[in-house]
Amino acid sequence: MTQQPVIPPEGDPPSKVVFVGGAPRSGTSVTHALLCTAPAANRYHPEISYVRPVLESYGVGIEKWQGHTSGFFREPEHFKLHIRKLVTMQLTYIARVLAYPRVLCVKDPLLTPYFPMMREVLGWPSQYVTVLRHPHNVMRSLQEVVEREGNEFDDELIHFAAHDYLNSYAHIDDPILEGVLMCLRYEDLNEPETIQALREFTGMPGINPDNIWKEDGHETTAEEQADPWYSPKYHGKIDLSSRLSPLSPHIREVVNEVCAPLMEEFGYLPDGSCE
Q: What would the pLDDT profile of 195-243 be if each residue is shown by its tens digit?
A: 999 999 999 999 999 999 886 666 777 777 777 777 777 777 888 878 8
d(CA 32, CA 198): 11
pLDDT at 13: 87
Q: What CATH number should be reported for the domain holding residue 132? A: 3.40.50.300
Contact 95, 9 (CB under 8 A): no
What pLDDT is stored for residue 9 in this prediction? 63
Q: State pLDDT tens for residues 30-85.
A: 999 999 999 999 999 999 999 999 999 999 999 999 999 999 999 999 999 999 99
**What confidence score (pLDDT) does residue 215 get?**
67
Span 111-147, pLDDT tens digits: 999 999 999 999 999 999 999 999 999 999 999 989 9
**Any domain includes 233:** no
Q: Is the pLDDT of residue 11 over 80?
A: no
Evaluate whether residue 1 is within a structural domain. Answer: no
Mean pLDDT, range 177-193, rounded to an integer: 98
Question: Which pTM value belongs to this model?
Answer: 0.92
- pLDDT band, very low/low/confident/very high, at 8 (cuts 50, 70, 90): low
Q: What pLDDT does residue 227 have?
A: 74
The predicted structure's pLDDT at residue 1:
39
Structural domain including 66 reads 16-208+239-265
Beta strands in 95-213 (DSSP E): 103-107, 126-132, 181-185
Residue 111 lies in a domain: yes
The count of domains in the chain is 1
Query: What is the helix (H) or strand (E) element at residue 200, kind and residue range?
Result: helix 192-202
Chain Cα centroid distance, residue 153: 23
Domain membership of residue 215 (yes or no) is no
Does the residue 180 lie in any domain?
yes
Whole-number pLDDT of residue 252: 96
**Looking at the domain assignment, is residue 4 inside a domain?**
no
Question: From CA 76, how far away is CA 188, in angstroms rounded?
Answer: 41
With a CB cutoff of 8 Å and minimum separation 6, the contacts of 16 are 103, 104, 124, 125, 126, 127
Check pLDDT > 80 for residue 271: yes
Predicted confidence at residue 223, as pLDDT, reads 77
Helices vs strands, H then E, count in the chain: 10, 4
pLDDT value of position 216: 60
pLDDT of 183:
98
Is 225 among the domain residues?
Answer: no
Q: Look at residue 217 and tell me if it is in a domain.
A: no
